[in-house]
Chains A and B, each alone.
Chain A
């Protein structure tokens, strides 16, 4: 019988490298030539190098493709092709190539570093962790790799780990790099360590003053330290250095808005629009402009700006609303959090510090409540940094690690009723407090820590399982105001909710249903408060909440005092203002724009008792 005739497959690889698929992503490693024989191609590789050095890229490419067709694992040829593709902006090809280089034995740290950097440049920080870790294994004392890991951990909200790597990088590099110092300063700012962040920015700027991004970062730190004059001076300096930097321009506009000068904010954004015409403003710029216009009472124009910002995200950034992730989170809550199924869970004992969970839909007003509560010494803010989400991810791993079945959150909770897994919930409760302690969020003087993690509506049952007697303060607000405030910004939520009003309404409805499920099926120490009451009579609400958590204090005096220095400043401190009534029934300025949200919101408006609310902002 005749053997099948081998066929040449000319199809090019889908990744865009320019190589045939059989020599690229569909490569059969078993058929590779011995690298010893790569020497036969030395002449060609020299020609490729020379062409690349002389910027004769097409010629270089031709040589490289020839080499790789014959020797698909020719490291130097792959490297040259990677550089070419990266320079051309063919990122998928570059990524495929660097991954192939990194996989060729022996392991070379530089390849993993380049792989990680490529992913970081695409904001794929979580994926970058794998090559970065491999690089570190090979070169544990390399400053660049520690710097990269610092970026990765900071951007994936593991701030303490990020800081550790930045500091290791600093210890391994001399003289200090201004970019590294600036990144460390940003990390410290994100941790709420404002004074340290300011000092680090000063160090960075001492190395190199013409660093517009560092100046802008420093300005945000100064604003959070209530030094608005200094912030504006820094922003002006940054603007002078980088007049076309739109992020700096937006920051400057927002600072004007914060200083109650919406006219100047509009002017600033309009200047950007004029400078970049016919190019469009981006979502952040539209949102800032909308807020300034709304402050000026120009509601129709404000609405148009908000809509334009969200349209930009949908049409230009391809961010479309998908209900599936929201539905999945709601389904997870409603199927697991049932009284009968939860009855056997272990109840962790109370720790030295009690969390106070500030529950609410996005933009309901939990930051205002945190600001008020943390005026009292002994109540410190964890803001959105408390570790419930990471503990929810750790739970299934612990179940499995202790010999239990493979499972996921929240089903894994049910596996903690048997065997050694019964120890897990107390372990996690301890870890929650230990993480906050290690991050400096709590101190030996802390009695309560406020937790307003944005995932709390989904994780309420988990929170109440870890801390059965912890107070849960639910901040309620008129649903139309919540949804409007969520829409009138550039932030996105699960399933890109936020790009449409209907998406925000669905998120609100689903989170309220998730909360209702847990409230109906578990015993909570629960107190609802209303945003509207908070801004109308902050002292009364503060008194009510303090009474509820069992603290005696003079709320009026607390609110009248200067902002207390807390161990770790919350992120919302940068926009901190005394309680004001601007947001009260905010939706009423906008007329009949809520049609697409009403079917889901009307039942909640009724349930929450807002159907008859006729009071308007004074």
Chain B
């Protein structure tokens, strides 16, 4: 804040809070917001802004309380319900979120972002026609609004309208977070035509799961442009190099060599003309190293009791994933699984959430294998020694699906588009069964149904 004796306007202070918030300096933003709030406890914009900061700090009830109050004090400021919609959506209060979205649109019918937020909440409510209409209206108002196009893609893909969806999906590289995903080049994006050997650069552009899912298109590309060069992150190398047809694999843009065209992996379904009916699903297309399989089998034979089915388990995703709150659960929510004395649980979870194992005292013995797993090749090998994998929607689900492991995936009410709707199988992975929430943010019954099927 400014030094003593220097007068600043409230607007300047609010801008300062916004700047902190935008730059991710949330502690500074919170401290300043609290000070201002003490000076102006009834100021609607102070309340609103401090509510946003509180939300970003994970203090959701406080955020809602402040933002509701700001809305009461200034019921016609359109940005309040627009932001409130997102807060309610994040809190799982979808009816309230929809009410806010409609109010925001009512107050600012020409605000593309209000319609975009409206589309998001309709997606969450699985009201796909309304979601599509809202996204279209947003695009109509701002044709270069990448998020709206991407949301449109997700709505279409979730609804199974893949051909249309892939077209809008191309907007993903204009999203802010997509910066740096593609090479800086004047070479064209590949059109699917024939290229000389080694002259196609394939870019593993999305998350780990996406890369595994779309890795199945590499042989298709190699038929048209033999021995394509693959650019991917280092941890993907041992996984993707198993796929036939690839040429060199590089992990730095400088080493791609000369190429005639490039294609992101996630652009291949569009190029291949993929529809629900022609998804290439020659599974397994990932094959773990036999020596690793044997070593992990020996380890698991030592660690788990005899005579029990081994059930792999993943319950938490990467916390920075945009939908992590929807998909990640607590270990204890698998209680029906843990009550089965005929099962042995093998957690292949990585990351901070492994700590939850420390207070596990269920009936089924549990082996916390995560700390011993070095990379995805370990996970891939371990999966072969399990009878079944139970997982949330995370990369391990793709590893299991691509290697043909019997798997149950629990899905939120409005899942990621790739899992489609209203089916318990997936055309992408024949060995995977889907268990969906019946109500938003409500896992009741999901685990029970899954356990009954094991």
Contact = CB atoms under 8 A, between A and B. Distances in A.
Interface in A520-537: 520-528
A339 B355 CA distance: 9
A510 to B, nearest CB: 13
Contact of A520 (B307, B368, B374): B368
Contacts of A524: 367-368
Contacts of A550: 306
A517 B355 CA distance: 7
Interface string A512-553: 000111111111111110000000000000000001101000
A519 B367 CA distance: 9
A445 to B, nearest CB: 22
Contacts of B368: 519-520, 522-524, 526
Contact of A527 (B299, B307, B357, B365): B365
A516 B358 contact: yes
B302 A525 contact: yes
Interface residues of B, number: 23
Contact of B369 (A515, A519, A523): A523
B359 interface: yes
Interface in A478-537: 515-528
Contacts of A523: 303, 367-372
B356 interface: yes
Interface string B320-363: 00000000000000000000000000000000001111111100
A547 B306 contact: yes
A607 B359 CA distance: 7
Contacts of A44: none
B354 A520 contact: yes
Contacts of B365: 526-527, 548
Contact of A521 (B299, B307, B354): B354
A525 B367 contact: yes
B374 A469 contact: no
Contacts of B183: none
A520 B356 contact: yes
A523 to B, nearest CB: 4
Contacts of A525: 302-303, 367
A469 B370 contact: no
B193 to A, nearest CB: 46
Contacts of A522: 368, 371
Contacts of A520: 354-359, 368
Given A339-B370, A548-B365, A527 B358 contact: no
Contacts of B371: 339, 342-343, 521-523
B305 interface: yes
A519 B357 contact: yes
Nearest to A474: B361
Contacts of B307: 547
B361 A528 contact: yes
Contacts of B355: 516-517, 520-521
Interface string B74-88: 000000000000000
Contacts of B359: 516, 520, 607
Interface string A339-377: 100110000000000000000000000000000000000
Contacts of B360: 519
Interface of B: 299, 302-303, 305-307, 354-361, 365-372, 374
Task: List the 10 shortest-distance A-B pairs measured between CB atoms, nearest first.
Answer: A516-B358, A520-B358, A520-B355, A339-B371, A523-B372, A519-B358, A469-B302, A525-B303, A520-B357, A548-B305
18 contacts: A339-B354, A339-B370, A342-B371, A516-B355, A517-B358, A519-B360, A520-B355, A521-B354, A522-B371, A523-B303, A523-B367, A523-B369, A523-B372, A526-B365, A526-B367, A527-B365, A548-B365, A609-B361
Interface of A: 339, 342-343, 469, 476, 515-528, 547-548, 550, 607-609
Given A516-B358, A521-B371, A527-B305, 17 more contacts: A339-B370, A342-B371, A343-B371, A469-B302, A517-B358, A518-B358, A519-B368, A520-B354, A520-B358, A520-B368, A521-B355, A522-B368, A523-B368, A523-B370, A526-B366, A547-B305, A607-B359
